[in-house]
C-alpha cells in the first residue's frame, strides 16, 4: 500500500474529498486547505463564502509557524473630505434587523441586513497561504468548487437544519429567497443548493486572485448594492484591506506546547488563558472533569471586559495578559506527508440576507454578532461602549490551534484543530485538547465526547458527561440538551503520531463533518 499523502478533516464530505484529491495530485496541505475553503463556500453556503472573514494557521516542519489574520474589519472608511461629523453621528446599531434563532434547547439573537455587513478579506488570506506554501495553480484549486456551485450540492441533514434555523435571515431579500426558495418552498434535506453566479465568482478568483474583491468589479458590486440597502461598507474599506501575518500565541500545557492565533482575535488568547489556568489548577496528573473545565471557562470569560476589548489592538497584549493572569462558522484541518499542517476557520456570521446580484455573494453580518460587537453585547444603550472605529479588526472568537508534542518525542505537529460555533469555539477546543492530552483519547473520541459550555452564568451541557456527580455547576443555572447539538461547535481535527508519523482524523458529527485521506 502506498504511503498516505495526507489527511483532511472538514465540515462537509464533499469539501474533505476535494482536499484529499488535491493531496493525491501532489498538492501541499496549503493547496488542499485553499481548495477546501473554496469548496466550503458551496457545501456550507450559510456558514462561509467570498464575503467571509477567517483566521488561518500554518505550521511547517522547516520554519516558524504563521497565523494569518483575514478576519473582518469595521466598515465606514472614506477618502479625505467626507463629512466626518455627519458620519460619526450615525448610530451603527439603528438599521440592524434583529433575528431570534432557536437551537431547540437555547435561543440566540443575531442581527442582519445591510447595516450588519463588515469589510472582508478572506480571499486575501487564502492567497497569502497559497503563495507561501502552495504548489499547484490557484485556478486548479478553485475549479472543483466552481463546478460544485454550477452543478449543485445536495443539502445534508446538518446544512438543511442550518437553513431552517436561519430562515428569518434567508427571507429578508428577494435575492436570498431566489436561492433558497427556488420552487416556492425552502430547500430541505436531499434537495440541491445551486448558485451558478457563485461558481463564476469562484472561477474568477481562481484566475485573478483576491484583486477583483479588493478593488475590482466584484468589490464595486458588493459596495454599491450594500449602500443601496442601508449599509456603510465603502470601496475604501475593501481596497485597503490586507490580511496580516502574525506570530502565534504559544502556551505550555502539561508536557506539550499549544499554538493558537494571537490578538486582535479574542478566541486564541482566551483559549490560551483557560489552558494555562487549567494546567495550574489540576496539576500534571489531574485529568480535569466538568467542574474544573467550567472553572477555567469562568476565569477566561471574566477577562472579557471593556479593557480587554481595547487591549486586543495593543502590541504585546497577549504576552502581558498571559503573564499577569496565568491568560456560524466552519473549520478545516490538513496535514500533508511532509508534515505541513494548516488550519482555517472562516465565517460569514449567519449571513446578512443580502445577496449581491450577478455575483452569488451572500454578504456577512459580522457587525451584527453580539459576541463580536461590544455595543450589541451591552444592549446598545447610553452606557454601552463606543463603537469601534472604521478600519479596526473585529475581535473574533476563531482560534485555529496546533498541539506540539513533547520535545523528547520529536518535532512537527501532534494535532491541528479548530472549531465552528461563535462563543462556543474556545470551550469546544479546550475540551478537545484536554481529551487528547489528559484523557488519552483518540481523535474521534476527543471530538465526539459530550461538551459543556459556560456563558453569562449559565452552564449548557450535552448528555453523558463524565464525572457529572455532585454539584459540578457550582450552583449555576444548568441547561441540559437532549442530544449532541451544533450549538456546541464543530471541531475538525487531524492528529499525527509523533513516533510513527501515522495520520488520523476526526470530524465533528454535530456539524456533518467528514474526513478524507489521500
**Per-residue pLDDT, 283:** 58
**Per-residue pLDDT, 380:** 53
**Which residues of the chain, if any, have pLDDT below 50?**
1, 81-87, 89, 305, 307-309, 311-314, 316-327, 381-385
Q: Is 339 helix (H, G, I), strand (E, B) or coil?
A: coil
Q: How far apart are CA 5 and CA 25, in angstroms?
A: 9
* Structural domains of the chain ordered from first start: 247-335+396-517 (3.60.20)
Q: How far apart are CA 470 and CA 90, in angstroms?
A: 51
Q: Find the catalytic residue in 48, 201, 329, 359.
A: 329
Q: Is 329 a catalytic residue?
A: yes
**Per-residue pLDDT, 248:** 95
Give which of 334, 263, 292 is closest to 427, Cα–Cα.
Answer: 292
**2 preceded by cis ω (within 30°)?**
no
**Per-residue pLDDT, 321:** 31
> In the 8-state DSSP scheme, what is residue 486?
G
Give which of 34, 278, 60 is closest to 136, Cα–Cα.
Answer: 34
Spatial CB neighbours of 91, under 8 Å, sequence gap ≥ 6? none
**Per-residue pLDDT, 209:** 97
**Per-residue pLDDT, 294:** 85
Q: What φ, ψ does residue 243 adopt, rounded to 5°?
A: -65, 150
Per-residue pLDDT tens digits for 56-103: 999 999 899 999 999 999 998 876 544 444 445 455 555 788 877 665
Q: What φ, ψ does residue 137 adopt, rounded to 5°?
A: -60, 140
Amino acid at each position: 500500500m502506498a504511503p498516505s499523502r495526507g489527511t483532511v478533516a472538514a465540515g462537509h464530505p464533499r469539501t474533505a474529498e476535494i482536499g484529499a484529491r488535491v493531496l493525491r495530485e501532489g498538492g501541499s496541505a496549503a493547496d488542499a486547505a485553499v481548495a477546501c475553503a473554496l469548496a466550503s463556500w458551496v457545501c456550507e453556503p450559510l456558514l462561509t463564502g467570498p464575503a467571509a472573514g477567517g483566521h488561518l494557521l500554518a505550521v511547517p516542519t522547516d520554519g516558524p509557524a504563521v497565523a494569518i489574520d483575514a478576519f473582518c474589519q469595521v466598515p465606514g472608511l472614506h477618502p479625505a473630505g467626507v463629512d466626518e461629523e455627519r458620519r460619526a453621528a450615525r448610530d451603527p446599531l439603528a438599521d440592524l434587523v434583529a433575528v431570534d434563532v432557536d437551537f431547540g434547547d437555547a435561543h440566540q439573537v443575531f442581527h442582519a441586513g445591510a447595516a450588519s455587513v463588515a469589510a472582508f478579506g478572506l480571499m486575501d488570506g487564502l492567497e497569502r497561504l497559497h503563495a507561501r506554501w502552495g504548489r499547484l495553480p490557484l485556478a486548479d484549486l478553485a475549479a472543483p468548487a466552481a463546478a460544485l456551485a454550477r452543478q449543485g450540492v445536495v443539502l445534508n441533514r446538518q446544512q438543511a437544519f442550518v437553513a431552517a434555523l436561519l430562515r428569518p435571515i434567508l427571507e429578508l431579500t428577494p435575492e436570498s429567497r431566489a436561492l433558497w426558495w427556488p420552487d416556492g418552498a425552502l430547500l430541505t434535506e436531499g434537495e440541491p443548493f445551486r448558485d451558478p453566479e457563485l461558481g463564476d465568482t469562484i472561477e474568477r478568483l481562481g484566475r485573478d486572485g483576491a484583486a477583483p474583491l479588493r478593488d475590482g468589479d466584484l468589490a464595486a458590486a458588493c459596495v454599491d448594492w450594500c449602500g443601496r440597502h442601508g449599509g456603510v461598507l465603502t470601496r475604501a474599506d475593501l481596497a485597503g484591506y490586507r490580511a496580516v501575518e502574525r506570530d502565534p500565541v504559544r502556551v505550555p500545557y502539561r508536557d506539550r506546547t499549544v499554538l493558537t492565533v494571537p490578538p486582535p482575535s479574542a478566541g486564541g488568547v482566551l483559549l490560551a488563558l483557560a489552558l494555562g489556568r487549567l494546567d495550574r489548577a489540576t496539576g500534571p496528573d489531574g485529568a480535569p472533569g466538568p467542574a474544573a473545565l467550567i472553572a477555567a471557562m469562568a476565569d477566561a470569560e471574566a477577562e472579557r471586559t471593556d479593557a480587554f476589548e481595547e487591549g486586543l489592538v495593543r502590541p504585546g497584549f497577549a504576552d502581558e495578559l498571559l503573564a499577569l493572569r496565568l491568560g456560524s462558522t466552519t473549520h478545516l484541518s490538513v496535514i500533508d506527508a511532509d508534515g505541513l499542517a494548516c488550519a482555517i476557520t472562516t465565517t460569514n456570521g449567519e449571513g446578512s440576507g443580502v445577496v449581491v446580484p450577478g455575483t452569488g455573494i451572500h454578504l456577512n453580518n459580522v457587525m451584527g454578532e453580539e459576541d463580536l460587537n461590544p455595543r450589541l453585547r451591552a444592549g446598545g444603550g447610553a452606557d454601552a461602549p463606543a463603537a469601534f472605529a472604521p478600519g479596526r479588526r473585529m475581535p473574533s472568537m476563531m482560534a485555529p490551534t496546533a498541539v506540539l508534542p513533547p520535545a523528547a518525542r520529536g518535532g512537527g505537529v501532534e494535532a491541528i484543530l479548530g472549531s465552528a460555533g461563535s462563543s462556543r469555539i474556545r470551550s469546544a477546543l479546550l475540551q478537545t485538547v484536554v481529551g487528547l492530552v489528559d484523557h488519552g483519547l483518540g481523535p474521534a473520541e476527543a471530538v465526539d465526547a459530550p461538551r459543556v459550555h459556560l456563558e453569562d452564568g449559565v452552564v449548557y451541557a450535552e448528555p453523558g458527561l463524565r464525572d457529572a456527580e455532585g454539584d459540578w455547576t457550582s450552583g449555576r443555572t444548568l441547561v441540559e440538551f437532549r442530544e449532541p447539538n451544533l450549538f456546541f461547535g464543530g471541531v475538525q481535527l487531524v492528529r499525527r503520531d509523533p513516533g510513527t508519523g501515522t495520520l488520523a482524523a476526526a470530524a465533528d458529527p454535530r456539524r456533518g463533518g467528514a474526513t478524507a485521506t489521500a
